[in-house]
Amino acid sequence: MTEETQGFQADDSKEQKAQNKSLLSKGLPSKGRPADEVSALVEQRLSSDLAFTSGNILGSMCSQPHPFAASIFQQQLAKNIGDPGLHPALAEMEAETIRILGSLCGNPKAVGSIVTGGTEANLLAMWTAKNNTPKESREVVLPETAHFSFDKAASLMDLTLVKVPVDPHNRVKLDEYLQAVGPRTMALVAIAGTTGLGAVDPISEIAKIAEKHHLYLHVDAAFGGFVLPFLEAAGYPVGDAAEAVNSEAADSEVTSGSGQTVPLKAPAVFDFSLAGVSSITLDPHKMGRTPIPAGCILYRNEEIAGSSTTHVSYLAGGKTRQRTIVGTRSGAAVAAVWASLQHIGFDGYRDTVRRCMQNTYFLKNRIDAMSGIETVIPPVMNVLGIRPSQGTSEELAESLRARGFALSLFPGFLRITLMPHLNQSHLENFLQVLQDTLQETVNAMQKIQKEEPNIHSNRNQGENDAR
Ligand code: 0PR
């Protein structure tokens, strides 16, 4: 080491020390501050974030948790279900929760776990499929609309994703799906409630492909799992998946006796009642009204699930096994899911779905009646895609955000999720703001055209051409 570099190092460490000192002054306080002072600070520091209760979050798949579920979560905060030997009663509660959710998905004998969310559930499904499949088969056939958690799975497990295009209603194209299946196929994926538009793939047809070729089929019902089982009881029609794919009639909206439009039919079955389905993701922390984190992975049977079990030699006398990616796991989430299912019940979830669907159609009908904006597909569940006819979706998202409304931005459209925290007065507020925003775009366009009459400003030409 030369003197010069030594000198530099000495200076550096001096600087470093000064920096550390300033960091420490902003870092861990040497003496703890009083709880009420910190609590006020937390409230003050976070008050500028959007809240579900304000009605301004229109693009999230999460919602304000049911207050009862939140209270149970709080009550059981210390429980770690990753060490079930400490909490055998909670472990039994988890098993019971899985049986209830399995029944909701056509199989009371399903096995599985309450996990951190849809991402962990999808990763587990892909891990389990991998463990059940020979090494040469590492391709996953899935719709191009699949959630990005499958990209994470591919990167983590060195899988190849074969992404299949979708039809104008956002359902995967069956003929192309079938063509993508080959000798290297490890698993098939179908979606019951796509992230962008809430569409449902032709799952019964895909299940037949899985059965015929003895392939693992995972259904991602992270969103739809707490919607589809209640749709019919809520007064919204469900039909056969094949019918929805093949018949022209099912491709269009129908008008009910009351003159209201009703949705495209969702398939009557998406779940284990189809023999080819191996596993299902469904998320209580989306439409199940529980606090975050709560996802769920369900497997058809023990034989399938068994391949992704880790035996832990030192916990609970060496008898512990884990079937999740995380180790320490929220027991409060398990208790909150069980308690929500008991307290809300079938009728409660049906009513929630009905209210969310009514809000979806309320908003859709009002947006359809506006100029300068259109809906992307007739909704199947409580997800609505909208796009402006002038300006881009990005610009509209930005203008709405500047006015305090958060929507999700997908290529070519904005997503609105009509979650339980939204009511009609929130939607009226939003519609007014949307109307003003669109009017502003029209005014801006007119001004440009007046000032520069030879320039036909149409910055969104590319987006419009792609439709
Ligand atoms: N599968 C589907 C079909 C999903 O839509 C999602 C997430 C997942 C899996 C993954 O679920 P986790 O996020 O629980 O791991 N869907 C939402 C989305 O990407 C997640 C979300 C929720 C994002 C609330 C933002 C938000 O505010 O839009």
pLDDT-derived band at 453, boundaries 50, 70, 90: low
Domains 67-344 and 347-438 share a fold: no
- 290 CB near ligand 1 (under 6 Å): no
Cis peptide preceding 229, ω within 30 of 0: no
pLDDT, mean of residues 325-345: 98
Integer angstrom CA distances of residue 315 from 218, 318, 323: 31, 5, 14
pLDDT-derived band at 254, boundaries 50, 70, 90: very low
What is the structure's pLDDT at 12?
53
What is the structure's pLDDT at 257?
37
- Atom 9 of ligand 1: nearest residue by CA position: 118
Torsion of CA 307, 133, 294, 60, to 10 degrees: 170
pLDDT-derived band at 79, boundaries 50, 70, 90: very high
What is the structure's pLDDT at 454?
63
Residues 110-148 pLDDT 10s:
999 999 999 999 999 999 999 999 999 999 999 999 999
- 399 CB near ligand 1 (under 6 Å): no
- 94 CB near ligand 1 (under 6 Å): no
What is the structure's pLDDT at 128?
98
Task: Give which of 359, 330, 227 is closest to 288, Cα–Cα.
Answer: 227
What is the structure's pLDDT at 427?
98
Is 91's pLDDT higher than 50? Answer: yes
What is the structure's pLDDT at 140?
98
336 alpha carbon to ligand 1 midpoint, in Å?
20
Is 460's pLDDT higher than 70? Answer: no
What is the structure's pLDDT at 149?
98
- 61 CB near ligand 1 (under 6 Å): yes
pLDDT, mean of residues 182-203: 98
Q: Domain 67-344 belongs to what architecture? A: 3-Layer(aba) Sandwich (3.40)
pLDDT-derived band at 249, boundaries 50, 70, 90: very low
- Residue to probe by mutation, ligand 1, list 49, 145, 283, most atoms within 8 Å of CB: 283
Residues 25-50 pLDDT 10s:
678 999 999 999 999 999 999 999 99
Taking domain 347-438, whether its CATH number is 3.90.1150.10 is answered by yes
Distance CA 108, CA 277 (A): 14
- Residue to probe by mutation, ligand 1, list 57, 151, 195, 282, most atoms within 8 Å of CB: 195
Is 344's pLDDT higher than 80? Answer: yes
Is 432's pLDDT higher than 70? Answer: yes
229 alpha carbon to ligand 1 midpoint, in Å?
19
Counting residues of the chain whose pLDDT is more than 70, the rounded percentage is 86
Q: Residue 305 in contact with residue 299, Cβ under 8 Å?
A: yes
Residues 386-405 pLDDT 10s:
999 988 999 999 999 999 99
For the whole model, what pTM was predicted? 0.89
- Annotated domain spans of the chain: 67-344, 347-438
Is 86's pLDDT higher than 80? Answer: yes
Q: Which residue has the tokens 């000198």?
A: 7
Mean pLDDT of the residues in the chain: 89
What is the structure's pLDDT at 313?
87
What is the structure's pLDDT at 267?
85
pLDDT, mean of residues 312-340: 92
pLDDT, mean of residues 241-246: 40
What is the structure's pLDDT at 444?
81
Q: What is the 3-state secondary structure (H, E, C) of 38-91?
A: HHHHHHHHHCCCCCHHHCCECCCCCCCCCHHHHHHHHHCCCCECCCCCCCHHHH
Distance CA 430, CA 355 (A): 18
Query: What is the 8-class DSSP label of residue 346?
Result: H
Residues 20-31 pLDDT 10s:
565 556 789 999
Q: Residue 414 in contact with residue 393, Cβ under 8 Å?
A: yes
| Partners of 417 in beta bridges | 383
Distance CA 216, CA 109 (A): 18
- Atom 16 of ligand 1: nearest residue by CA position: 195
What is the structure's pLDDT at 171?
96
What is the structure's pLDDT at 18?
64
Distance CA 215, CA 42 (A): 50
pLDDT, mean of residues 174-197: 98
pLDDT, mean of residues 58-80: 97
Q: Residue 209 in contact with residue 179, Cβ under 8 Å?
A: no
What is the structure's pLDDT at 237?
83
- Atom 26 of ligand 1: nearest residue by CA position: 60
Residues 264-293 pLDDT 10s:
678 889 999 999 999 999 999 999 999 999
Is 252's pLDDT higher than 60? Answer: no
What is the structure's pLDDT at 446?
81
What is the structure's pLDDT at 370?
96
